[in-house]
Amino acid sequence: MGKLDGKVAIVTGAGSGMGRASALLFAEEGAKVVCADVSGHEKSTAAEIGGNAMAVHTDVSSATDIKNMIDTAVTSFGKLDILFNNAGISGPHQPLEETDDDFLDTLYGVNLKGVFLGIKYAVPALRANGGGSIVSTASAMGLVGRKGLAAYGATKGGVVALTMAAALDLADDNIRVNAICPGMVYTGLAGADAEGKNPVPDVELPYAMKRFGRAREIATAALFLAGDDSSFVTGVALPVDGGYLAE
Ligand SMILES: NC(=O)c1ccc[n+]([C@@H]2O[C@H](COP(=O)([O-])OP(=O)(O)OC[C@H]3O[C@@H](n4cnc5c(N)ncnc54)[C@H](O)[C@@H]3O)[C@@H](O)[C@H]2O)c1
């Protein structure tokens, strides 16, 4: 018996990295999965899962696309139980005054507004379902500062604050809202290929566990927060970071 048997889940950023690993794991655990991404790689993730998945081309910074993504899940699979707002982009490490203003709009549009829109437009479907679980990918950089990452860190800190406030707004609807704060994980953002076939580089990193996390190690945390094993957990930002934040 799977941990998500009978559930319908949407995963954004499902074409690569943590989103791809999570879509595959959610399906292994019995969920029907809508794989959403802007890259086109959402199609190969859905194809790998097979009949219990579908791909929906989605730019999470677009309210029109988000509404279409949620409508498609409900129309195709009958309901929505889980939304994993995972899509995200990073940017250059640089002094904050060198941040390009147009890039700032794009970064906020994807990493923060995209999560807000996901939550906003999923609520009616989750409410109609009697409740559900929303998980978002923030970052360790949303909980502490890092030199050169002011713009990215601000988007992820925003996701943490949004998670706590949304958990309060939605508790009476039986909708739980949580976030994952990954540390350094070897994915597309760290130079991996979309399907994660490249070996994780054997480098020593400057924190307790010293190694890159693997996308699957974020997917297992997402599974916990998405499913009923975390039925009394809401409003948390869970570090999954190999001890990065412990120092
Ligand atoms: N890799 C890390 O070390 C790390 C650490 C902390 C947080 N994160 C966060 O993890 C999440 C997943 O990233 P990842 O590391 O798996 O990287 P990734 O690049 O492998 O995957 C991100 C996916 O999001 C998609 N995406 C980008 N913009 C989009 C948009 N506008 N609409 C829809 N999809 C879009 C990309 O096409 C890609 O498939 C992101 O939110 C990222 O900020 C990553």
Could you state, in order of their start, the residue ranges of all structural domains in the chain?
A: 8-246
Answer whether residue 233 shows pLDDT above 90: yes
| pLDDT at site 192 | 92
Tell me the pLDDT tens digit for each residue of 69-79.
Answer: 999 999 999 99
Q: Is there a catalytic annotation at residue 152?
A: yes
Residue minimizing CA distance to atom 42 of ligand 1: 88
User: Is the C-beta atom of 139 inside 6 A of ligand 1?
Assistant: yes
Distance from C-alpha of 32 to C-alpha of 5, rounded to nearest angstrom: 9
The stretch 118-132 carries a mean pLDDT of: 98
The tens digit of pLDDT for each residue in 158-177 reads 999 999 999 999 999 999 99
Which ligand 1 atom lies nearest to the CA of residue 87?
24
Minimum CA distance residue for ligand 1 atom 10: 137
Alpha carbon of 189 to ligand 1 centroid (Å): 6
Q: Is the CB of 158 under 6 A from ligand 1?
A: no
The answer, yes or no, to whether any atom of ligand 1 lies below 6 A from the CB of 180, is: no
Cα of 211 to ligand 1 centre, how many Å? Answer: 19
Ligand 1 centroid from CA 28, angstroms: 21
Read off φ and ψ for residue 8, nearest 5 degrees: -115, 125
**159 close to ligand 1 (CB < 6 Angstrom):** no
Distances (CA, A) of 18 to 170, 173, 174, 215: 26, 28, 26, 5
Look at residue 93 and tell me whether its pLDDT is greater than 90.
yes
- Look up residue 68 and give its amino acid: N
User: Atom of ligand 1 at shortest distance to CA of 212?
Assistant: 3
Burial 116-127 (b: 16+ CB within 10 A, else e): bbbbebbbebbe
Instruction: Determine the pLDDT at residue 45.
Output: 98
In angstroms, the CA 69 to CA 14 distance is 13
Report DSSP letters for 15-79, one per residue: TSHHHHHHHHHHHHTT-EEEEEESSSTHHHHHHHH-TTEEEEE--TT-HHHHHHHHHHHHHHHS-
Q: In this structure, which residue's CA is closest to atom 37 in ligand 1?
A: 39
pLDDT band at 142 (very low <50, low <70, confident <90, very high): very high
Right CATH for 8-246 from 2.70.98.30, 3.30.70.270, 3.40.50.720, 3.40.50.300? 3.40.50.720
Contacts of 199 (CB under 8 A, 6+ apart): none
Pairwise CA distance, residues 140 & 241, whole Å:
7
Residue with the nearest Cα to atom 41 of ligand 1?
A: 88
45 contacts: CB under 8 Å, gap ≥ 6: 14, 15, 19, 20, 23, 24, 35, 37, 53, 55
d(CA 206, CA 62): 37
Contact 58, 65 (CB under 8 A): yes
